[in-house]
Structure 1
Amino acid sequence: MNERIKKLRKELNLTQREFAAKIGMKQNSIAIIESGRNTSDQTIMAICREFNVREEWLRSGAGDMFIQMTRDERIAAWVGETLSTESDTFQKRFISMLSKLSESDWEVLERMVEEMKKVNRHAHP
């Protein structure tokens, strides 16, 4: 399992410190796990929950690494993760701005995007 945890961390492009922080652990704990120490059920559940990983894959390597999500589930997860950050990121400000749009604002935005797509198609045939 230690190799799969390392593979997952690398797939997510996270350092041991970043990976550990997301599941409430210290960096040295992840280093120890990746080097072969047995992993507790609590840690396995935290990894699966935080990173949307299939428990069967994590334990045995069988099947897909990640639980397949619908488009709406992926959007909801991304928005939730973005809003839970403490820093005032562009993504967070953008989501906030979108939440304030009226129906007519959405229509204007859609027309603008359609026009940008036309311009882009002509610029890159």
Structure 2
Amino acid sequence: MIGERIQVIRKESDLSQEEFGKRLAVSRNVVAKYENGLVEPPELFLNHLCMKFGVSEDWIKTGQGDIYAAITEDDLVSEKLGIILASDNDMIKDIITKAYELDEDYLLMLNQLIDGMLAKQSKK
């Protein structure tokens, strides 16, 4: 049952129904109804849950396969870009927009500069 699998993800994430619901933009009552099988969760909710918690769509829908989907580099980039776009940080948006216009040589230099800055920052 999908509701049982939703509950597995919530409990493995060590979240209450309320906390889990907040992360998925639904109320605690909705989470409870899904977990108890009173309401069938819509496709959009299941897709959001899978993206947010790295869950395999096949597993959440059928119970087959691995619980967690393999996370690709593209998945990580997409997640970070989503966070950046949702933020109010116009400076990072401007930097990314400008970096997109650079050729390969300048991108390599920028990447090395950022790696050095991050290494220095982590030593603080």
TM range (shorter): 0.5 to 0.7
- What SS class does the counterpart of residue 65 from structure 1 fall into? coil
Task: Report the number of matched residues.
Answer: 111
Any stretches of 5+ residues in structure 1 without a counterpart? none
CA distances 1:93-119 after superposition (whole Å, capped 9, x unpaired): 424312213346534323324556887
- What SS class does the counterpart of residue 4 from structure 2 fall into? helix
Structure 2 CA distance for aligned equivalents of residues 33 and 59 of structure 1? 13
Given residue 70 of structure 1, which amino acid in structure 2 is its aligned partner?
T
**Residue number in structure 1 paired with 2:76:** 74
CA pair 47-9 structure 1, distance change in 2 beyond 3 A: farther
**Residue number in structure 2 paired with 1:88:** 88
Structure 1 CA distance for aligned equivalents of residues 115 and 24 of structure 2? 42
**Residue number in structure 2 paired with 1:3:** 4
Structure 1 CA distance for aligned equivalents of residues 109 and 79 of structure 2? 27
CA pair 57-70 structure 1, distance change in 2 beyond 3 A: same
Identity %: 22
Given residue 5 of structure 1, which amino acid in structure 2 is its aligned partner?
I
**Contact 2:46-2:57 at 8 Å conserved across structures:** yes
CA pair 58-118 structure 1, distance change in 2 beyond 3 A: closer
**Contact 1:9-1:16 at 8 Å conserved across structures:** yes
Shift of 1:5: 0.8
Shift of 1:44: 4.6
**Residue number in structure 1 paired with 2:109:** 108
TM-score (norm 1): 0.57
**Contact 1:4-1:61 at 8 Å conserved across structures:** yes
Structure 2 CA distance for aligned equivalents of residues 12 and 105 of structure 1? 41
**Contact 2:21-2:27 at 8 Å conserved across structures:** yes
**Contact 1:16-1:31 at 8 Å conserved across structures:** no
Given residue 45 of structure 1, which amino acid in structure 2 is its aligned partner?
E
Q: CA RMSD in A?
A: 3.6
- What SS class does the counterpart of residue 64 from structure 1 fall into? coil
**Contact 1:56-1:63 at 8 Å conserved across structures:** yes
